[in-house]
Structure 1
Amino acid sequence: MLLKSYVLPIVVAADAYERACRDLTLHQLDPADFSPDPSKDGHKEALVAVYDQRMQLGRPGRAVYEEARNRKGKCPICGVGRVSQVDHHLPKSVYPYLAAVPMNLLPICGDCNREKLNKAPTCYAEQALHPYFDDIDDDRWLRARLLTLDGDGKPYEAKPSESPEGWRIEFYVDPPPSWDSRHAQRVKHHFSETYKLDEIYEDQAADDIPGLELAFEEVFKAGGPSDVRVYLEGLARTRAHPHKNSWMVALYEALAAHVWFCSGGFRQIAAG
């Protein structure tokens, strides 16, 4: 009976949430409008329990959970991990009326879910990208760079014959000229603050390069640095076909542009 009394507020809240997703005004939503009166003891907990308990395996709401989790195979946030969980785009602890609203339930991998936790936007830039409302794949915005490091850990441009003390690959958002500053800040916050995708992609790159060492070596022996560069550019074009902002596209382009890497530096990186 308690939950039935909240059917209308939930419907109203779901409508307001969807409008805010489209209008990019999630940060303007008042959490008080998405939660029962605080004086009603246990009501908020009961609404949250609709997700926590009724969507467990074998419970009536499980079909909603499964539908949300099975919308994607790869995590729509990072594009790397396998979808294994469901996340609340706006946290249920702050917006309990949205605890079981399907459009607030996103398929996600475990790593991205752990990074986001219960973060809620407090300004325009903090609005995380929503897989169903935000489409930024028409523009190229993800880039990477390879940095060679000296003994103090400072970046410098290593020459082909040198063996730098270390190296680092950085992924970053490079907004196209068509983006306004607010949109650029929002994508940057989503990338580096909310989900820390830069760190996820750096780990992926560190694992990926050693597996390509043999191919690099064969190409290098056949045609030298220029052929390594062309080979990497080819890999980047291939990866860009399905997804131009793939971490692999950014990585291979960055490596192709790096003289030290193409001149044999790949051996040092592959060796760890």
Structure 2
Amino acid sequence: MCISSSISSAKLTLLTGYENAIVGAADVYEQACRTATLHELEPSAFAPDPSKKKDADDLIDMYERRMDPHHPGRPVYDEARNRPTKCPMCGVGSVRQVDHHMPKSGFPYLATVPINLLPICSDCNFAKNDRAPKRYVEQTLHPYFDDVDGERWLKSRLITQLPDGQTYEAQPHDRPANWFVNFYVDPPASWDPNLTARVAHHFEIFKLADLYEDQAADDLPGIELSIEEAFQAGGTADVRTQLEGLARSRARVHKNTWMVALYEGLASSDWFCSGGFRQVAAG
């Protein structure tokens, strides 16, 4: 599609000459995605000979120019960008851009391969940059191939602090000097340790702990009234039941969203459920 029209005969000949190499590279890349072995790919197998830097630039230019609006490759770009409404890397941001899972600068043969084009929000695109994995654990999750939502791995806990910043477990009726919600990776013990490390790496690269903490801070004032009503009706137990119900409801779609983790974490806090939610809602 990218070379189907409005292209000089010389450029057409050049790019057509790389068609078999690109198709072969796409197959190798797909297999590496399926087996989580992207870290084993050699960049030299995904680019022209180093003496042909202009050819590499022309291959990259197919994405840079021939997937622009009103160009023949644009439908492929739009299909990738329009697949989800939320960024699959963070689950929060709106998709605004398309990212190369393996960077086009180091892997020019993959510059226009559709399964290397991922929908992404601008913040995650900036955070990922042009990283290519060198080890298994450095492979960020690929939304087309990696499904880690079968079991719960995203958790949260409500952290309370004394005036000197020391962390402690606040008791009912305490007024801690500060509080915040900490999100973290905690998969089942049955997980392969390498997969755990890989998910934790993804969590770190995209700064998901900070992102989810911000989301939680915005969400909590909005549920304060319903929690207060539950507390007036049945005290601590009813607040905990309501929070657990919110978590179960959210988990019906995706088990590992910040909302599921948030409500479960709050439900496990005696301080929050016994009235601390009022201090949290006050900011």
Give me the TM-score of the superposition, normalised by structure 2.
0.93
- Once the two structures are TM-superposed, the CA of residue 152 in structure 1 deviates from its matched residue by 2.3
Tell me the secondary structure at the aligned position of residue 18 of structure 2.
helix
Tell me the secondary structure at the aligned position of residue 66 of structure 1.
helix
Tell me the secondary structure at the aligned position of residue 135 of structure 1.
coil
Tell me the secondary structure at the aligned position of residue 42 of structure 1.
helix
* Equivalent position of 1:81 in the other structure: 93
Tell me the secondary structure at the aligned position of residue 53 of structure 1.
helix
Question: Is 1:37 paired with 2:49?
Answer: yes
* Equivalent position of 2:225 in the other structure: 214
In structure 2, C-alpha distance between the alignment counterparts of 1:141 and 1:99, rounded to whole Å: 33
The counterpart of 2:238, out of the listed 227, 238, 251, is: 227
Question: Is 1:247 paired with 2:271?
Answer: no
Q: Which runs of 5+ in 2 are unaligned?
A: 1-12
In structure 2, C-alpha distance between the alignment counterparts of 1:135 and 1:112, rounded to whole Å: 19
In structure 1, C-alpha distance between the alignment counterparts of 2:165 and 2:67, rounded to whole Å: 49
The counterpart of 2:271, out of the listed 250, 254, 260, is: 260
In structure 1, C-alpha distance between the alignment counterparts of 2:138 and 2:256, rounded to whole Å: 21
* Equivalent position of 1:55 in the other structure: 67
In structure 2, C-alpha distance between the alignment counterparts of 1:85 and 1:216, rounded to whole Å: 38
Tell me the secondary structure at the aligned position of residue 259 of structure 2.
helix
In structure 1, C-alpha distance between the alignment counterparts of 2:68 and 2:74, rounded to whole Å: 6
Find runs of 4+ consecutive structure 1 residues off by over 3 angstroms.
none
* Equivalent position of 1:177 in the other structure: 189
The counterpart of 2:165, out of the listed 123, 139, 153, is: 153
* Equivalent position of 2:249 in the other structure: 238
In structure 2, C-alpha distance between the alignment counterparts of 1:24 and 1:237, rounded to whole Å: 31
Q: Which amino acid aligns with 1:174?
A: D
- Once the two structures are TM-superposed, the CA of residue 105 in structure 1 deviates from its matched residue by 0.4
Instruction: Give the count of matched residue pairs.
Output: 271
In structure 1, C-alpha distance between the alignment counterparts of 2:15 and 2:207, rounded to whole Å: 37
In structure 2, C-alpha distance between the alignment counterparts of 1:6 and 1:151, rounded to whole Å: 65
- Once the two structures are TM-superposed, the CA of residue 148 in structure 1 deviates from its matched residue by 0.2
- Once the two structures are TM-superposed, the CA of residue 41 in structure 1 deviates from its matched residue by 3.6
The counterpart of 2:77, out of the listed 65, 69, 80, is: 65
- Once the two structures are TM-superposed, the CA of residue 100 in structure 1 deviates from its matched residue by 0.5
In structure 2, C-alpha distance between the alignment counterparts of 1:183 and 1:244, rounded to whole Å: 17
Deviation string for 1:188-213 (max 9, x for gaps)? 11112x22222211111111001111
In structure 2, C-alpha distance between the alignment counterparts of 1:199 and 1:6, rounded to whole Å: 43
Alignment of 1:104-119 (within 5 A): 104-119=116-131
Give me the TM-score of the superposition, normalised by structure 1.
0.96
* Equivalent position of 1:6 in the other structure: 18
Deviation string for 1:19-68 (max 9, x for gaps)? 11111110011111111222124222211111111111111110110111
Q: Which amino acid aligns with 1:140?
A: R
Question: Is 1:168 paired with 2:180?
Answer: yes
Q: Which runs of 5+ in 1 are unaligned?
A: none
* Equivalent position of 2:199 in the other structure: 187
Q: Which amino acid aligns with 2:18?
A: Y
Tell me the secondary structure at the aligned position of residue 87 of structure 1.
strand
- Once the two structures are TM-superposed, the CA of residue 261 in structure 1 deviates from its matched residue by 0.7
